[in-house]
A and B are shown apart, each in its own frame.
Chain A
Amino acid sequence: MQTLDILVPETSGYSYAFLDEFAKRELRRRMLKAIAIPGYQVPYASRELPIARGWGTGGLQVTLSLVGPSDVVKVIDQGADDSVNAANLRRFIVRMSGAQTTTDTTLATLIQSRHRIPEEVLHEQQTLILQVPDPEPLRAIESNISKAREMHGDADYGLMWLTLYEQLVRYKRVTLGASYPVTVHGRYVMSPSPIPRWDVPKLHQAPFLTVLSAGREKRLYAVPPYTDVRPLEFDDVPFRVENQRNWLCFRTGEHNKFMNEIPLAGGNAIYEISDSGYVNKRILKQPVGNTFFDDNAKFYKEGVLHD
């Protein structure tokens, strides 16, 4: 019987971590530029990988150019370590680099993620790599990419507030769920990849480095450690995270963590914490790190949220 192991060619023919040295050097240089100009989208030559564009190739290229044999890698997809995409990426990274893997946020050195920032507070030695489908926050208001880049150059971001205005007029509240635009270091407006609003404040003055990379759009950008990341808001209509105040995780009994809603027959719903690594540690009664939102729904840093 033919198995995948037989079909897959020997790994010895590849460079360390799959990408050739030139490609990795280019990516590292682009990352340095992105870190030097927080929130600025740096174009790069997105390489072919054995997974399809749109399945995390941007994040994967960044991970592959950063990973070393002593690294511990965690890969998350929508908060879960065990989804197909996360498992595939993790196996590929390990196979190509010999790095360790973990599902424990506190132990990882590199965390590649799609759609979530883990609940536990990351520290200075960790790097968060976010997969980005659409890096351009201005796309909704300016479809011409050349014009959008001019707007970035002029810091001409007024129209972003017009979209907020429109939502307030029509729905009485801001309806942007994910990819909530933020101003980084008081200059560039950035799309923080499709993380929920819940995760946006976690980027503000964070001790860890965040690299966001879009493989299909061939752009990467970064939030260096201890950088201001402010969500766009009106003076009198402050930014708010999702209201999940009364939601209780059916597996751990906790609240004030970002929840997945699981609909039940009959119209009711139960909730579970979206960060599966965190849930598993709680169920196994292992010690967990500090979380960004504590039990009183207070954010770990004062003055970021308005109430």
Chain B
Amino acid sequence: MTKNVALLNGVNTHPFQSLDLHHRHLLPAQIVTTKPLLQATGLVKKYGVIHAVSNVDVLVYPGEVLGIVGESGSGKSTVLRLLHLEDQPDAGKFYFDVSNDQSLNLFELDRAAKRLVRVFNIGMVYQHPHLGLRMKNTSSGNVAERLIVAGNRNYAELRLAARKSLQVSEFPLARMDDLPSRLSGGMQQRVQLAKAIALKPKLLLLDEPTTGLDVSVQALVLDTLKRLQRESGVSMVIVSHDLGVIKMLADRVMVMRNGRVVECGLTDQVLEDPQDAYTQQLVHAKL
């Protein structure tokens, strides 16, 4: 948790308030007393006879970046879908610091309430832009959609908010009214990111955000993510099979295999000194 401590400073201010180049002051280390932002326990999800996720616990503190790594089919994307309230688990509880009511299990909410939690508190970036974006709408429209869904009915404000959000995600503003299908892969991911952060959520879920991009674009997108995290202090859960991405972004890492968590710990610790046989294999295969 030691690395986490420094990151906790200043997250009580609203995310993105400090965006105007006011970097946070580093305070001396202190003991973590903050409650976790997100606490999901005992997640189970089966697809027929396949146990996609069995008994997984996820804990994310405010301002923390949690990485989830694992091979294809290990259940990491399913975990993310459960956290995004897209899927209903077969068992498990999900507490999220949304309305000062920590005892509220989000899985028990009805459809409309889930939608509200999702709109106001959680942003999601998918691996495939087709899942996260409306390809027939303009890029700025995609970003403005979040504010429209949240109830904003002022065209000028929507334009401004879309512009700001796209700027934060370092999207070239000259192309803000282009269709996403006419943008490059990196730009599409930036539009997704702008859409995800448009309402300043407390939690950002990233499902393989840089997979499929070439290495230089990948680095630029990761840079944007890192800067965003540093400046806004938003909590992130990032799923990737690329250990480099995890190493660059995550404070803590969770290694999954066959729907179970095989190892969990600080990123440096897990990647430098893996304890589990599978993690060792994974790390050596990569590095």
In the bound complex, how far is the Cα of B134 from the Cα of A33, in angstroms?
Answer: 36
Q: What B residues does A156 contact at CB under 8 A?
A: 112, 115, 149
Q: Which residue of chain B is the closest to A233 with respect to CB atoms?
A: B153
Asked if B141 and A162 sit within 8 Å, CB to CB, the answer is yes
Q: For residue B137, which residues in chain A have a CB less than 8 angstroms away from its CB?
A: 162, 166
Q: How far is the CA of A158 from the CA of B111 in the complex (A)?
A: 16
Chain B positions within 8 Å of A161 at CB level: 148, 153
Across the interface, name the chain A residue whose C-beta is closest to B139.
A169
B-contacting residues, A136-182, CB 8 Å: 150, 154, 156, 158-159, 161-162, 165-166, 168-170
Contact A169 B153 (CB under 8 A): no
* A236/B140 in contact, CB under 8 A: no
Determine whether the beta carbon of A162 is less than 8 Å from that of B148.
yes
Which chain B residues border A166 with CB–CB below 8 Å?
137-138, 141
Q: With A234-B155, A236-B154, A236-B156 as given contacts, are A162 and B111 in contact (CB-CB < 8 Å)?
A: no
Q: Which of B145, B154, B177 contacts A234 (CB 8 A)?
A: B154
- The reply to whether B149 and A159 form a contact with Cβ atoms under 8 Å apart is yes
B198 to chain A, nearest CB (A): 13
Known: A165-B155, A234-B154, A235-B153. A158 touches B145 (CB 8 A): yes
Taking the complex as formed, is A270 at the interface, i.e. its CB lies under 8 A from any CB of chain B?
no
Report if A169-B141 is in contact (Cβ < 8 Å); known contacts: A154-B111, A154-B115.
yes
With A154-B111, A162-B137 already in contact, the answer to whether A235 and B148 are too (CB < 8 A) is: no
Determine if B11 is an interface residue (Cβ-Cβ < 8 Å). Answer: no
* Chain B proximity mask over A259-272: 1 for CB below 8 Å, otherwise 0: 00000000000000
Interface string of B119-155 (1 = CB under 8 A from A): 0000000000000001001101100110011110111
A239 to chain B, nearest CB (A): 12
Out of A150, A159, A237, name the residue touching B111 (CB < 8 Å).
A150
Cβ contacts under 8 Å, A234 to chain B:
153-155, 158
Q: State whether B148 touches A159 (Cβ < 8 A).
A: yes
Contacts of A236 in B (CB 8 A): 154-156
The secondary structure that dominates the B interface is helix
**A211-251 CB contacts (< 8 Å) to partner B:** 233-237
Q: How far is the CB of A162 from chain B (nearest CB, A)?
A: 5
Cβ-neighbour of A169 out of B111, B134, B177 (below 8 A): B177
Chain B contributes a number of interface residues (CB within 8 A of A) equal to 20
Q: Are B115 and A165 within 8 A (Cβ)?
A: no
How many angstroms from the CA of A156 to the CA of B114 in the assembled complex? 13
Asked if residues A168 and B155 are in contact (CB atoms below 8 Å), the reply is yes
Which chain A residue lies CB-closest to B136? A166
In angstroms, Cα B141 to Cα A156, docked, is 17
- Which residues from chain A contact B158 at a C-beta distance below 8 Å? 165, 234
User: Once the chains bind, are A159 and B141 in contact (CB under 8 Å)?
Assistant: no
Check B145 against A162 for contact (C-beta < 8 Å): yes
Complex: how many Å from CA A235 to CA B140? 19
Q: Chain B residue with minimal CB distance to A140? A: B136
Name the contact of A165 in the complex, choosing from B111, B112, B144 (C-beta under 8 A): B144
Cβ–Cβ < 8 Å partners of B154 in chain A: 234-236
Distance A165 CA – B154 CA, assembled complex (angstroms): 10
Q: A158 — which chain B residues lie within 8 A by C-beta?
A: 145, 148-151
- Cross-chain contact A154 with B112 (CB below 8 angstroms): yes
Which residues on A sit within 8 Å (CB–CB) of B140? 169
CB of B133 to closest CB in A, whole Å: 12
Closest Cβ of chain A to B221, distance in Å, is 25
- Complex contacts, B149 vs chain A, CB 8 Å: 156, 158-159
Complex contacts, A165 vs chain B, CB 8 Å: 141, 144, 148, 155, 158
Residues on A with C-beta less than 8 A from B150 are: 158
Interface mask (B100-128 → A, CB under 8 Å = 1, otherwise 0): 00000000000110010000000000000
Interface residues of B in 55-99 (CB under 8 A from A): none
Q: Given the known inter-chain contacts A154-B111, A156-B115, please indicate yes or no for A162 contacting B155, CB distance below 8 A.
A: no
In angstroms, Cα B179 to Cα A169, docked, is: 12
The CA-CA distance from A166 to B11 in the complex, in Å, is 35
Assembled-state Cα–Cα distance A235/B141 (Å): 17
Q: Nearest chain A CB to B181's CB is how many angstroms away?
A: 14
Interface string of B147-176 (1 = CB under 8 A from A): 011110111101000000000000000000
Q: Which residues in A have some Cβ–Cβ distance to B below 8 Å?
A: 150, 154, 156, 158-159, 161-162, 165-166, 168-170, 233-237
A–B complex contacts, Cβ < 8 Å, 24 sampled: A150-B111, A156-B112, A156-B115, A158-B148, A158-B149, A158-B150, A159-B145, A159-B149, A162-B134, A162-B145, A165-B144, A165-B148, A165-B155, A166-B138, A166-B141, A168-B155, A169-B140, A169-B141, A170-B177, A234-B154, A234-B158, A235-B154, A235-B155, A237-B155
| Extra contacts besides A162-B137, A237-B155 (6): CB < 8 Å | A162-B141, A165-B144, A166-B137, A170-B138, A170-B177, A235-B155
